[in-house]
Amino acid sequence: MKIRDRSFNDIISELKNIGRMAKRYLGAIIIFTVLSLLSTVFGILTSLVSQSLIDFVTNSAQNDAILKFDNIYAIAGAVVAFTVFRIVFGAFNNRISEKIRIKVNTEMTAEIFDEFICSEWEYSSAFSSGDILNRFNADVSSVAGSVLGIFPSFVSKAFQFAAAFAVILYYDATMALIALISIPLSLVCSRFLMKKMHTYARELRKVGSKLMTFNSDALLNMQYLKSFGLVSVFCSKLRKIQREYIKLNLDYNKFSIIVTSVMSFLTQMLTYVCFGWGVYRLWTGAISIGTLVLFIQLYSMLSSSFSSLIGIVPTVINAVAASERLTEIRTLPKDDTLDAPDVIDFFERAKNKAIEVELGGVTFKYKDENECALENISFSGKTGDFIALTGPSGEGKTTILRLLLSLIRPCSGDTSVKCAELGERIALSPSTRRFFSYVPQKNTMFSDTLAENMRLVKPDASDDEIKDALKTACAYDFIMKEKDNIYCRVGDGGTGFSEGQMQRLSIARALLRDAPIVLFDEATSALDIETEKKVLSNLADWGKNKICIFTTHRASVFDVCNKAYSVTDSSCALTMSKDG
């Protein structure tokens, strides 16, 4: 079958990807396939035994059954035995397939999660959370199901078709020929179906991601929606997206019904033809009643197995559409951590020594922007420095922090951390993030206990170390008022704490990491003046052997800084230095 569209090549490419995944579970797939084949064999044997039973009971003089028995008890025993075997193997087959499906689904989800989380920030941040969740769930489930289902289903149904056809051919070549007429009709329909279904599958997944993104955003911003009286607006928006989703599903359903109805009508007509031919053969005495019943059973088996083979097409198309979306994640550029051994070695040897971080002649442009966010900037800080990055919003302050963290890569220029005492310099990379601690603008606490949130950055931190960090960040007092102290729960989005409290908790976590360079991105913007002064005073004492870099609009931050850079119009200029 050939489709004159590039989507056919896409389908083949994604099927190869699915095939590569299937190799990991080859043993399980073989077991599942064998069980399916055994179930088919018992089905054929049950039909043959039924033929013998009917001929035996009707005392047919023309008993040409393949399976012959001497008495009714042997036939009845065989019927019961094969039926029991079918039920047992069916149940065992279902159990095995479910265990494999769960295993494949969970392992694949973990793999896709790893691929996404290890991709470069600039590329991964282009995906909405709802879209990613939809890919992690719906798309992974579809592909995982196909890994287990496509090959075993194809083999078992093909075997069922071949076995049923062989038995029919053994008895009557004309009947076999009539049965084969359905094949070209089905192939013509499947040729038309593939491209159309592929389009529907992709569009349905896009709308599904859009719907999940909307729900995720709405739930995360409930306070905002209620505060601005936007509940009814968002309820209306949800229904608009739902109508789009419903329309697309119903269009697909209408298309499927039309195709299925046509196929069912043609299949039913062929069934009547086969039945008529069988009745004619019985009337002429060419076959027995048992053989006629066998014909009917086998034709039904033949028809259903071929329909199942054709029915694999939608499964394949859905899996291909899902696999394409997962491939988009797999092919995202990944963080380069090949230098990790050298960075770890340098980090260990540079401990408790003075270091310097530097950007030299750096130019950077975001991939979807026309203009440079930063152009030929230079910036440096050494141990003991408290540095303020000031300037209007959107001029590049946070971009400098992203460059330091290697979340983005400069288009040109050098970025490095060096140790004069060791006489060594190493380029900034994802591996050098171990030199940094970071307080972002937004709340980044997770739904867990406060202690577990804190230990994300230092898993072996003691309770006393956590409390010390909380004291430095002026968060100790309000946490000690909580029922479970540092083991109190932090709700979704920091529920239960004010914005200022969440900032102080984020600062405490950054301090607990005890990295030589700490980045504060508008980290005190939600604090009142007195609390901010206390936090900054504590930081000044705590960070004497650190490099602390602040992006800020607050004048109070300057009191603890010995350097200040103005970031504006894509440039970075030193405007204050209290050195020497």
| C-alpha to C-alpha distance for 548 and 322, rounded to whole angstroms | 45
* CA 129 from centre of chain: 11
Nearest Cα neighbor of 526 from 441, 451, 454 is: 441
Q: What is the pLDDT of residues 413-455, one digit of tens each?
A: 999 999 999 999 999 999 999 999 999 887 788 888 999 999 9
Nearest Cα neighbor of 506 from 492, 491, 487, 519 is: 519
CATH class given for the domain over 340-577: alpha beta
Q: What is the pLDDT of residues 48-58, one digit of tens each?
A: 777 777 777 77
- In the chain, CATH 1.20.1560.10 covers 6-330
Task: Kindly state the tokens that stand for 466.
Answer: 């956590």
- Give mean pLDDT, residues 27-31: 77
Helical segments of 118-181, H only: 121-124, 129-134, 140-171, 173-180
Helix, strand and coil percent figures for the chain, each rounded to 5: 65, 10, 25
Which range, of 256-265, 331-340, 551-560, averages the lowest pLDDT?
256-265
pLDDT tier at 4, thresholds 50, 70, 90: very low
Q: What is the pLDDT of residues 191-234, one digit of tens each?
A: 556 667 767 777 887 887 788 878 777 777 776 677 667 778 88
Residues pairing with 426 in the sheet: 417
- In the chain, CATH 3.40.50.300 covers 340-577
Nearest Cα neighbor of 505 from 472, 552, 536, 530 is: 472
Q: What is the pLDDT of residues 49-90, one digit of tens each?
A: 777 777 777 765 455 666 666 667 777 787 788 778 778 877
Superfamily of domain 6-330: ABC transporter type 1, transmembrane domain (1.20.1560.10)
Q: What is the pLDDT of residues 127-175, one digit of tens each?
A: 888 888 888 888 888 888 777 777 777 777 777 777 777 877 877 777 7
What residues have CB less than 8 Å from 186, skipping those under 6 apart?
263, 306, 307, 310
pTM given for the model: 0.75
Helical segments of 172-230, H only: 173-180, 182-220, 222-227
Between the alpha carbon of residue 195 and those of residues 34, 153, 264, 525, 533, the distances in Å are 32, 22, 21, 54, 65
- Give mean pLDDT, residues 274-288: 77
